[in-house]
Amino acid sequence: MLFNSIDFAVFLPIVFLLYWFVTNRNLKLQNILIVASSYVFYGWWDWKFLSLIIISTLIDYTVGYFLGKEQIRKKRKTLLWISIISNLGILGVFKYYNFFVSNFISAFSFFGTEINAGLLDIVLPVGISFYTFQTMSYTIDVYRKELEPTKDFIAFSAFVSFFPQLVAGPIERATHLLPQFYIKRTFDYTKAVDGMRQILWGLFKKIVIADNCATYANLIFNNSSEYSGSTLVLGALFFAFQIYGDFSGYSDIAIGTSRLFGFDLMRNFNFPYFSRDIAEFWRRWHISLSTWFRDYVYIPLGGSRGSTWIKVRNIFIIFILSGFWHGANWTFIAWGALNALYFLPLLLTNKNRSHIETVAHGKYLPTLKEFSFMIITFSLTLLAWIFFRAENIEHALSFIGGIFNGMFSKVSLYTTYRMLVGKLGIPLLIIMILFIVTEWIGRSGKYALEYTGLTWKRPYRYLLYYAIVASLFWFGGEEQQFIYFQF
């Protein structure tokens, strides 16, 4: 079920009314409703894959239960590995089996040996990478004795399947989200209104920004050999705004929806395109995944402690794993490796935490130096996104090569101008500029509309909201599935 669908527009009010007006006096019933609603939400896509969520839930609940009773370290580690192997095994079969088999066949073919190995004709379950990592966080935290194992199976099932963030995050930690299912929730009008504002902004980012950009990004990437340099740059720009609007828009809707039900989810995006270096970008982009890898992989490997070799090794491991998490394709691995190369100079010179505060904090405009750093960082990110979007490595390299093919020629610039003004349209261009300005103005908040307009008189504030709603209908692009559903 898509957040930007009629189905969800009907589903959400029904669940909301049942939650606050039927089950509100009984915490157990509320949690049961969340589990049932989450299963309906996920099963709307394909009910057969609900079995995978249930299996993950049963495995990690059981492992957590026995970890709570076991004190012998060797046996505790065995239990932990049962969870890790089971979860990653399921993920590996559905997401990575065909990748490894096809590369195995290609490797032997290169040396003149033909191998017959069958590929699996299976569909990748939506969101499997997200809920797999979420359940694993519970087992790992219980193993580390940072969290008491739960005895409430319903609460744990609700934690694993919580529908707002089930299929595309944020990837919640058990230490943060699970305890929220133990306590009675009371309706908070202020929190609910704030949640609705965040949902509205998320829908705008998805429907108006991402879906429109997707049309042109797909056109240019799918026909990249037909376009010259400046148009290819435009295609990369469209994809950069598509993936940001799409994924951060989903996160906004997920977080806002959770607030309607009295839950707080972790922040997943913090205006990453205003970053002044790559380290800052990765503290602001897909925060729940970055911090997951940091806490459960990077730090256990030694982090930034030890020799230069250890630091370099750990950075490449963490970024390549992050790339591979996104998909079974060499393009994602190349994307991760390229970001590792970007990050290394900052780490080795101890400048990876130079920019912690929000850029131009308390000011209307950045300094020339800050602006230059933002442009450089965004340009590096744009280059990496080409690998992320390309069909394969050859496509990415040819796309990058094409960028430098007459980028500033009159024909190239004229084609790009026609693409912008003729196909995209002046009104939509103005909306995209206003979007960037709104994000800049609201960069100190958790999302752009958190404080924007709150001090205005009510008629002007509501005029802003009505204008955003109207733009969803007037300027909404062709409906596109959320990009991160495939991960």
- Residue 51 zone, left/alpha/beta (φ > 0; ψ -120 to 50; rest): alpha
Active-site position among 326, 355, 361, 395 = 326
Q: Which of 424, 15, 3, 442 is nearest to 202 (CA)?
A: 3
- 3-state secondary structure string across 408-475: CCHHHHHHHHHHHHHHHCHHHHHHHHHHHHHHHHCCCCCCCCCCCCCCCCHHHHHHHHHHHHHHHHHC
Are the C-beta atoms of residues 229 and 408 closer than 8 Å to each other? yes
Is residue 326 flagged as an active site residue? yes
- 3-state secondary structure string across 350-363: CCCCCCCCCCCCCC
Q: Which of 184, 131, 139 is nearest to 161 (CA)?
A: 131
Rg (CA), the chain: 23
Are the C-beta atoms of residues 347 and 316 closer than 8 Å to each other? no
How many whole angstroms separate alpha carbon 360 and alpha carbon 432?
22
Say which residue the tokens 């939506």 belong to: 126
Rounded to 10 deg, the angle between the 153-161 and 128-143 helix axes is 140
Show Cβ contacts of residue 49 under 8 Å, excluding neighbours closer than 6 positions: 42, 125, 126, 128
How many whole angstroms separate alpha carbon 448 and alpha carbon 201?
8
Q: Which tokens sit at 87?
A: 């979860």
- Residue 440 zone, left/alpha/beta (φ > 0; ψ -120 to 50; rest): alpha
Q: Residues 95, 244, 372, 235: is their CA dihedral positive or negative?
A: positive
The amino acid sitting at 228 is: S
Cα 298 to the center of its chain, rounded Å: 19
Show Cβ contacts of residue 32 under 8 Å, excluding neighbours closer than 6 positions: 23, 154
Question: DSSP of 51-90, one letter per residue?
Answer: HHHHHHHHHHHHHHHHHHH---HHHHHHHHHHHHHHHHHH
How many whole angstroms separate alpha carbon 12 and alpha carbon 6?
10
SS3 at position 478: coil
Helix, strand, coil percentages for the chain (3-state, nearest 5): 70, 0, 30
How many whole angstroms separate alpha carbon 67 and alpha carbon 73?
10
Question: DSSP of 198-216, one letter per residue?
Answer: HHHHHHIIIIIIIHHHHHH
Q: Catalytic positions, please?
A: 326
